[in-house]
Amino acid sequence: MISRSAAILVGSVALAAGLAAASVAIAETAHRTPRTNFILRCVGCHGMDGAGSEKGGIPDFRNYVGAFSRDDAGRTYVMHVPGVVNANLTNAEIADVMNYVMKTFGGTSLPDDYHPFERGEVDQLRAVPVKDIVGLRRDLAASLAKQGIATAGYPWP
């Protein structure tokens, strides 16, 4: 019969080994779902509901984000926002997350003829140099406003 302290030690070692194996399994997961990647990489700023924080300078996705999927300039913009640039995802995963965001939060702003982002397009759009992301957004918002398409509030000059 094994002593109580030995049993606790054996149990602790087994638990530690299991946790280590689980963390390796998570780290080695080749592909997480787009929703999981959204939760891991976007929720900290945009929230689970996509509301963002106008006061904090984080745009609201809800019924606005789809407006940026309408043309090359808007599609380029969303590939250069800080959360995408710093996401540490493959371009295929970025395409999947962007499609998740568009379909989940785009609502009335998502065009009827929306075409999903694909890895090849993300490769091309991320290669386009964008020196002033705030200026690009300002120009896009003005262009969309002229077309009667609203964008979320954005406090940056």
By CB atoms closer than 10 A (0-12, 13-18, 19+), residue 25 is exposed
Question: Phi, psi (5° rounding) for residue 79?
Answer: -85, -5
When mean pLDDT is compared across 19-23, 35-39, 65-69, the lowest value belongs to: 19-23
What is the token pair recorded at 64?
């606005």
Cα–Cα distance, 18 to 72 (Å, whole number):
47
Cα–Cα distance, 121 to 17 (Å, whole number):
42
pLDDT tens across 95-128, in order? 999 999 999 999 999 999 999 999 999 999 999 9
Residue 91: CB atoms within 10 A of its CB come to: 19
Mean pLDDT of the chain: 86
